[in-house]
Amino acid sequence: QARVQPQALAIGFLDIDLFKDINDQHGHEVGDQVLVAVARALGTSVRNHADVIRMGGEEFLVLLPGAGRAAAAARLEDLRLKVAAVTPGLGIPGLNVSASIGLAVLRADSDDLAGLLRRADHAMYCAKRAGRNQVFDAEALAGQPDPQAA
């Protein structure tokens, strides 16, 4: 739709940091509670200005139609903070929930959906490698090697 009717489209590829460790240290029941709490926090936070899709495991895709780069970055940073805020509500000692998020904005002249997803995924992995719990913009990473290719 963004290609047919020219408008901005940004996506965020969100991955819960160290989710395997959460499952290993606290059990799969706690892991399930984390997934539910994160999904709820994301859904409540985006309401009418975005869509959230669980991609599988601990990965979520946030669709931000009509959002330019600056607005999308601000919204994704807000979502990152909302994810971190689920930790106290779970009341589990030693549990810290955070997320790494990769941002990509549709390039009208060159992107298709696969390219957009690939760039957001690359940015998310770069956020993880840089210490986790942050939002990385794919545009700022142009020309850097894909960390998954290593």
Query: Closest by alpha carbon to 35, among 19, 51, 24, 21?
Result: 19
C-alpha atoms less than 13 angstroms from C-alpha of 138 in its C-beta half-sphere: 24
Tell me if 13 sits within 8 A of 70, measured CB to CB: no
Whether 77 is a known active-site residue: answer: no
**Given 29, 58, 59, 139, the catalytic residue:** 58
Which residues lie below 8 Å from residue 126, measured CB to CB, with a gap of 6+?
A: 102, 136, 141, 144, 147
Query: Closest by alpha carbon to 10, among 92, 100, 120, 124?
Result: 120
Beta strand spans in 1-150 (E): 9-16, 51-56, 59-65, 99-105, 135-137
d(CA 98, CA 25): 16
Residues assigned a catalytic role: 58
